[in-house]
C-alpha cells in the first residue's frame, strides 16, 4: 500500500518552489512526481526586503506568508493533477476527463500530509529564533490536506541551530554499509552531511552556496544566476579578495553551526571590496570561496565519495572546481544514488513530515547542537469534510 507525502522547499536562493510527491511506504523514497514554480518577481523583492528591518514589518511578513501559501498550493495541486494525468496516457475524451477527476480525488485522499519548509527571512539561532514565513492554515485550506511546517522551531527551542535538518534524511536514505559518503547540498547556502558506516551523521552549513554569486550576477548582468558558471569561468580569482572573504570568523567556527543571508549578503561582500574590481573576477572569487569552504568541511571527513545535490549541481564550473579540490575523491550527483539532485530537499521535507505524523524525532543533535532528539514541525490538520445538510 502506498504512503504518500508531499514535500515543498523554497530555499535561500529565492528562485522558486520545488515540490515532490513521494511514496514513503518502502525503505527508499519513491518519487512519483516533481515540479517547480518560479518565485514571482514582486514576492521575491518583498522577501529580500524582509531580510532587513523596515516599516510595517509584521503586516508585510503576514502578507508574504499568505502569498507563499498560495504558491505552495499551486505546486501541490499541480503534483496531484500530474499524477492523475499520467494514468490517463493523454486521453482527452469525456470519459477520461471524468476519470481524471476521480483519479485526482483518489490521489489527494492517499496523501497523509504536506511537509512545507516555508521561506527563511531571518536565521538567528544564537538569539533563540529562526523565522520561516508560511501560513500553514491557509495552505491546508487551499489544498484540503494536513500540513506540517515550522520544522526548525523545536530544535532551536532545545538549544540547537535549527539547521541543517537534511542530514537526518541523508543518513536514512544515502548511508552505505562500508563507504564514507559526503552529501553536498548547494542551495543559497551550502551544507554537508557526513555519513560514516554505522555512525550517526555529522554535518553543518559550510558557508555560502549560490546566494552571493546569484546576487552579484543579478547586480551586474541582470539575470538571477550565472548559467553553468560561465561568467565566473571568464574571470580570474582575486587572491587578495578571496583571503579577505575567507577570514570571516564563521569559516573557522567549529560545528554545530549554520548560517544564512543574515551574514552572507551583498553588504557583507561590498564591505570587503576595498579597491576597484573587475566584476567577473569577483564572480570567479565568489565561486572559489564556495568551493573552498565546502572542501574544508569535506576534507576533514576523509570521504570515500561525494555526491552533490541542489541548484549548485547545475553550475558546471562549480562542479569542476569541487572535483579538482576534492580529488582523488570522486564527486558526482545524487542521481548516482537514485535521486534527482533538484528534488532531494523537497523529498527530505516529505520525509520529515512523515517523522512528525509518526511522532518520530527529525533532528540530529550531533548536527544541530540541540540538547536531544525532538519531534519537529507544527501540524495543521486537514479541513473537516462536511456532509450534505450540515
Task: Give the Cα separation of 108 and 126 in Å (integer).
Answer: 40
One domain, residues 129 and 13: yes
pLDDT at 361 over 80: yes
Residue 256 domain flag: yes
Measured over the CA atoms of residue 277, residue 278, residue 281 and residue 282, the dihedral's sign is positive
What are the phi and psi torsion angles at 5 (to 5°)?
-135, 155
One domain, residues 277 and 369: no
Non-local (6+) Cβ contacts of 41 within 8 A are none
pTM for the model stands at 0.94
Q: For residue 96, give the CATH number of its domain.
A: 3.30.420.40
Which long-range contacts (C-beta less than 8 Å, at least 24 apart) are formed by 13-16? 13/187, 13/188, 13/209, 13/210, 13/211, 13/214, 13/225, 13/311, 14/39, 14/44, 14/47, 14/48, 14/119, 14/188, 15/39, 15/44, 15/214, 15/224, 15/225, 15/311
pLDDT of residue 188: 95
Task: Give the Cα separation of 59 and 61 in Å (integer).
Answer: 5
The partner residues of 181 in beta bridges, in order of sequence, read 195, 305
Task: Give the Cα separation of 33 and 82 in Å (integer).
Answer: 7
Q: Total structural domains in the chain?
A: 2
One domain, residues 145 and 10: yes
* In the block, residue with C-alpha cell 539575470: 223
Query: 113 is written with which cell numbers?
Result: 500530509
One domain, residues 318 and 226: yes
Residue 183 domain flag: yes
**pLDDT tens, residue by residue, 10-60:** 988 888 999 999 999 998 999 999 999 999 999 999 999 999 999 999 999
One domain, residues 108 and 188: no
DSSP 8-state code for residue 370:
-
Q: What is the mean pLDDT of residues 133-150?
A: 98
Q: What is the mean pLDDT of residues 136-148?
A: 98
Residue 275 domain flag: yes
Residue 223 domain flag: yes
Q: What is the mean pLDDT of residues 322-332?
A: 98
Q: What is the mean pLDDT of residues 149-167?
A: 98
Q: What is the mean pLDDT of residues 235-263?
A: 97
Residue 385 domain flag: no
Task: Give the Cα separation of 125 and 128 in Å (integer).
Answer: 5
Task: Give the Cα separation of 321 and 296 in Å (integer).
Answer: 13
Do the beta carbons of residue 367 and residue 256 sit within 8 Å? yes
Domain range for 311: 176-329
Give percent of the chain with pLDDT exceeding 70.
Answer: 96
Amino acid at each position: 500500500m502506498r504512503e504518500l507525502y508531499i514535500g515543498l522547499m523554497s530555499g535561500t536562493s529565492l528562485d522558486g518552489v520545488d515540490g515532490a510527491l513521494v511514496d514513503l511506504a518502502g525503505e527508499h523514497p519513491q518519487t512519483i512526481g516533481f515540479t517547480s514554480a518560479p518565485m514571482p518577481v514582486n514576492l521575491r523583492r518583498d522577501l529580500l526586503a524582509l531580510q532587513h528591518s523596515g516599516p510595517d514589518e509584521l503586516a508585510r511578513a503576514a502578507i508574504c506568508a499568505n502569498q507563499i501559501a498560495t504558491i505552495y498550493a499551486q505546486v501541490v495541486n499541480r503534483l496531484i493533477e500530474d499524477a492523475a494525468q499520467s494514468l490517463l496516457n493523454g486521453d482527452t475524451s469525456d470519459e477520461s476527463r471524468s476519470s481524471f477527476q476521480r483519479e485526482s480525488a483518489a490521489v489527494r485522499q492517499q496523501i497523509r500530509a504536506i511537509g512545507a519548509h516555508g521561506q527563511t527571512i531571518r536565521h538567528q539561532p544564537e538569539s533563540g529564533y529562526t523565522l520561516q514565513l508560511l501560513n500553514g492554515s491557509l495552505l491546508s485550506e487551499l489544498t484540503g490536506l494536513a500540513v506540517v511546517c515550522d520544522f526548525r522551531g523545536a530544535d532551536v527551542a532545545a538549544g540547537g541551530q535549527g539547521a541543517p535538518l537534511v542530514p537526518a534524511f541523508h543518513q536514512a536514505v544515502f548511508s552505505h554499509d562500508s563507504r564514507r559518503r559526503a552529501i553536498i547540498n548547494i542551495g543559497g547556502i551550502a551544507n554537508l552531511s557526513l555519513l560514516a558506516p554505522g555512525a550517526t551523521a555529522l554535518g553543518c552549513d559550510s558557508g555560502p552556496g549560490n546566494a552571493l554569486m546569484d546576487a552579484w550576477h543579478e547586480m551586474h548582468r541582470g539575470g538571477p544566476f550565472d548559467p553553468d558558471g560561465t561568467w565566473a569561468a571568464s574571470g580570474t580569482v582575486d587572491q587578495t579578495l578571496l583571503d579577505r572573504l575567507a577570514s570571516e570568523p564563521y569559516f573557522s567556527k567549529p560545528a554545530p553551526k549554520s548560517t544564512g543571508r543574515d551574514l552572507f549578503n551583498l553588504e557583507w561582500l561590498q564591505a570587503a571590496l576595498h579597491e576597484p574590481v573587475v566584476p567577473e573576477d569577483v564572480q570567479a572569487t565568489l565561486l572559489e570561496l564556495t568551493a573552498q569552504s565546502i572542501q574544508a568541511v569535506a576534507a576533514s571527513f576523509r570521504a570515500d565519495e561525494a555526491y552533490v545535490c541542489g541548484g549548485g549541481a547545475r553550475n558546471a564550473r562549480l562542479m569542476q572546481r569541487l572535483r579538482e579540490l576534492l580529488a582523488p575523491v570522486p564527486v558526482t550527483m545524487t542521481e548516482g544514488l537514485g535521486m534527482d539532485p533538484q528534488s532531494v530537499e523537497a523529498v527530505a521535507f516529505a520525509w520529515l513530515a512523515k517523522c512528525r505524523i509518526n511522532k518520530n524525532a527529525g533532528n540530529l543533535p550531533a548536527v544541530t547542537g540541540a540538547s536531544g532528539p525532538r519531534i519537529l514541525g507544527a501540524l495543521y490538520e486537514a479541513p473537516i469534510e462536511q456532509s450534505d445538510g450540515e
